[in-house]
A and B are shown apart, each in its own frame.
Chain A
Amino acid sequence: MKVYRTARTAMTALRRNPMRALLTTLGIVIGVGAVIAMMEIGTGSSAAIQKTIATMGANVLLILPGTAASGGVSFGSGSVTTLTPQDGEAILRDSPAMRNVAPIVRARTQVVYGNRNWVPQQMIGTTPEFLDIRDWTGLTEGDAFTERDVLNANKVCLIGRTLARELFQGESPIGREIRVKNISFRVVGVLSAKGANMMGSDQDDILLTPWTTLKYRVTGSTLSNPNQSAASSTSSSVNTLNKLYPGSAPELYPKQSETQAANTPLPVRFANIDQLLAAARSPEEIPAAIQQITEILRERHRIRTGEPDDFTIRDMTEMTNTLTSTTRLMTNLLLCVAMISLVVGGVGIMNIMLVSVTERTREIGLRMAVGARARDILRQFLVEAVVLCLVGGAAGILLGHGGSRLVELLLRWPVATSLPAIAAAVLVSASVGIVFGFYPAWKASRLDPIDALRYE
Chain B
Amino acid sequence: MELIELHNICKTYHLGDIAVPVLKGVSLKIARGEMVALMGASGSGKSTLMNILGCLDRPTSGEYWLDGRDVSTLSADERAQVRNHSFGFVFQNFNLLPRTSALENVAMPLSYTAGHLSERQARKQARKVLEQVGLSDRLDHEPSQLSGGQQQRVAIARALVNNPPLIFADEPTGNLDSRTSAEVLEMFQQLNGRDSITIIIVTHDALVARHARRVIHIHDGLIVEGAYAGGIEAAPRPADPASPAAELGGIG
A contact residues vs B (CB 8 Å cutoff)? 1-2, 5, 8-9, 12, 16-17, 362-363, 365-376, 449-450, 453
Contacts and interface: CB of A to CB of B under 8 A. Distances in A.
Given A369-B56, A373-B76, 18 more contacts: A5-B111, A8-B119, A9-B111, A16-B100, A362-B95, A370-B83, A370-B84, A370-B109, A371-B81, A371-B83, A371-B85, A371-B112, A373-B80, A373-B112, A374-B80, A450-B51, A450-B57, A453-B95
Nearest to B105: A366
A450 B56 contact: yes
Interface in B183-212: none
Interface string B82-102: 011100010100010111100
Contacts of A370: 83-84, 89, 108-109, 112, 158
Pairs A-B, 10 closest by C-beta atoms: A371-B84, A370-B109, A16-B99, A371-B112, A373-B80, A373-B77, A366-B95, A371-B83, A5-B111, A372-B112
B216 to A, nearest CB: 20
B120 to A, nearest CB: 13
Contacts, number: 64
Contacts of B81: 371, 373
B119 to A, nearest CB: 8
B178 to A, nearest CB: 25
Main secondary structure of the interface of A (DSSP, over half): helix
Contacts of A369: 54, 56, 83, 89
A370 B84 CA distance: 5
Contacts of B60: none
A400 B186 CA distance: 61
B136 interface: no
8 contacts: A5-B115, A5-B119, A12-B100, A372-B80, A373-B80, A449-B56, A450-B51, A450-B56
B42 interface: no
A16 to B, nearest CB: 4
Interface in B104-144: 104, 108-109, 111-113, 115, 119
A6 to B, nearest CB: 8
Interface in B135-187: 158, 162
A374 B80 CA distance: 9
Nearest to B158: A370
A376 B114 CA distance: 12
Nearest to A371: B84
Contacts of B108: 367, 370
Query: Which of A12, A371, A373, A376 gathers most chain B CB within 10 Å?
Result: A371
B154 to A, nearest CB: 13
Query: Which of A17, A362, A370, A373 gathers most chain B CB within 10 Å?
Result: A370
Contacts of A8: 119
Contacts of A365: 95
A371 B51 contact: no
Nearest to A376: B112
Nearest to B80: A373
A366 B57 CA distance: 14
Contacts of A373: 76-77, 80-81, 112
A375 B77 CA distance: 9
Contacts of B91: 366, 453
A362 B97 CA distance: 9
Contacts of B80: 368, 371-374
A365 B91 CA distance: 12
Interface in B43-80: 51, 54, 56-57, 76-77, 80
Nearest to B88: A370
Nearest to B95: A366
A14 B95 CA distance: 19
Nearest to A369: B89
B42 to A, nearest CB: 13
B115 A16 contact: no
A15 to B, nearest CB: 8
A374 B83 contact: no
Nearest to A6: B111
Contacts of B85: 371
